[in-house]
Amino acid sequence: MSVNTPLSVHAAETLLFFTLLQLTVIVLTGRFGGALARRLGQTAAVGEIVIGILLGPSLFGLLAPDVFHVVFHSASGTPLQILSQIGLILLMFQIGLEFDFAHLGARSNRRAVLWIGIASMLAPFALGLGFGAFSAATLSPQAGGEISALFIATSFSITALPILGRILVDFNLHRTPLGVIAISAAAFNDVVGWLLLALVTTLAVSHFEPAAFGLKVLLVLGFALLWLYVARPLMHRAIRHFQAGGDDLSPNLLGVVLAAIFISAMCTYQIGIFAIFGGFMMGVILHDQVRLVQAWKAQISPFVLVFFLPIFFTYTGLRTDIGGLSSATLWAWCALLVALATLGKFGGAYLAARWCGMSRPQAGVMGALMNTRALMELIVINVGYDLGAISRNVFTMLALMAIFSTVITAPMLRLWLPRLATTEPTEQGCVDSAKA
């Protein structure tokens, strides 16, 4: 049968109709969730994440199963999945662009940044590894215990750098020494976290075979070196060429950048790790192109955040079934997971900050900020779920943990900030705030 028969045209139009219906619901509810979250003193991303979860079987599918089925199951979910992945690649590119590595090399409070960054990764990683190993046989029997434990440990360790940046601005902390330490420690945390996720993904796809794993590691290292020393100067030269006419992001330059992002994503897919890493790496090598970064944020970023990001949140929500935690035992596991993740992240950052000479309120603020996970957590758990490293129940538990850890950040800051002393971190322990 020809691909142009009336039947195939009708099928295509039906798929288009339901995809447009899904996108209309997602975009409008995403804006509503963001606006409502701001009214409640949260960031817009918190509202969008919660709305994305509620659009899934956890609420929409529970309260109106027939309507839920019509909207999300009348046609193939492939278009939504593909749009979600394209949006995630573009979002990871933006995250790479936003990495300010100058924070990591700043002399001011450098040792505090290092110790808080290390402690806020090692403590939750250790707790996550223990929880994952202990619970794997019960919660994720389909996966190997080692790989399940590694993904849970990685998800415990991550910090949501973009959300943290927004929170610092909202609370007017972004230009204070405390805010600089937090964003720098989070940047260090995320650099290590993404490398760790790439490593764990490589372990998963190689099935712990030493030769296969070694080859994957070499390919990843080769990709990173090629992008840093070949792709980076070529892209910088192309950017200078297209910007010579005075336009920071001309249509031709935008086309080149988009093609480069997609090629980078295809390369990481081909070497055996997720395409999102390619998008992130392209952002990293272009983060110092100030005119490009500013133009991207002004012209492209709003569309990515308004259109693509809610699609990813909803796609995650469709996988999250709170009703699937159907027993007291599963909810007990969930409570333990949330408690350990919070204790590890908040406790590690708090103790490191205290050791570095910060006051209790300052250390409390630091712990609250480093405990923010949000979007980054959702990216990690989607990777783990796609690889079969975690079950749907564990996926739901980790999604709830991501929401909880982000929602409590603002209330915790409102609790600790009024207690702050008039002085910032002193020159005791490992804090060196006198050096600029």
pLDDT tens string 127-138: 999 999 999 888
> CA–CA distance from 395 to each of 185, 275, 303, 317, 319 (Å)?
27, 20, 28, 10, 8
pLDDT reading at 93 higher than 80: yes
Assign 3-state DSSP to the chain and report helix, strand, coil percentages, each to 5.
80, 0, 20
pLDDT reading at 307 higher than 80: yes
- DSSP class of 140: -
> If you average pLDDT over each of 96-100, 136-140, 329-333, which comes out highest?
329-333
Following DSSP, what letter does each residue of 23-74 receive, concatenated?
Answer: HHHHHHHHHHHHHHHHHTTS-HHHHHHHHHHHTTTTTHHHH-HHHHHHHHHS
For residues 210-222, average pLDDT: 79
- Does residue 56 come out as left (phi exceeding 0), alpha (psi in the -120 to 50 range) or beta? beta
> CA–CA distance from 301 to each of 50, 79, 87, 304 (Å)?
21, 22, 11, 5
Supply the pLDDT for residue 428.
43
**pLDDT class for 378, splitting at 50, 70, 90?**
confident
Burial label for 15, CB within 10 Å (0-12, 13-18, 19+), is: middle
Supply the pLDDT for residue 18.
92
The pLDDT > 90 percentage for the chain reads 32
Token digits of residue 312: 């990813």
Match 């950017």 to its residue by tokens: 239
Distance CA 121, CA 125 (A): 6
CB 53 within 8 A of CB 29: no
pLDDT reading at 235 higher than 90: yes
Q: What is the dihedral of CA 267, 268, 272, 274, to 10 degrees?
A: -140
pLDDT reading at 44 higher than 70: yes
For residues 118-133, average pLDDT: 93
Distance CA 215, CA 196 (A): 17
For residues 395-409, average pLDDT: 90
Supply the pLDDT for residue 99.
64
Match 């609790």 to its residue by tokens: 415
Query: Where do the structural domains in the chain lie, given as residue ranges?
Result: 79-419
For residues 253-263, average pLDDT: 96
Q: What CATH number labels 79-419?
A: 1.20.1530.20
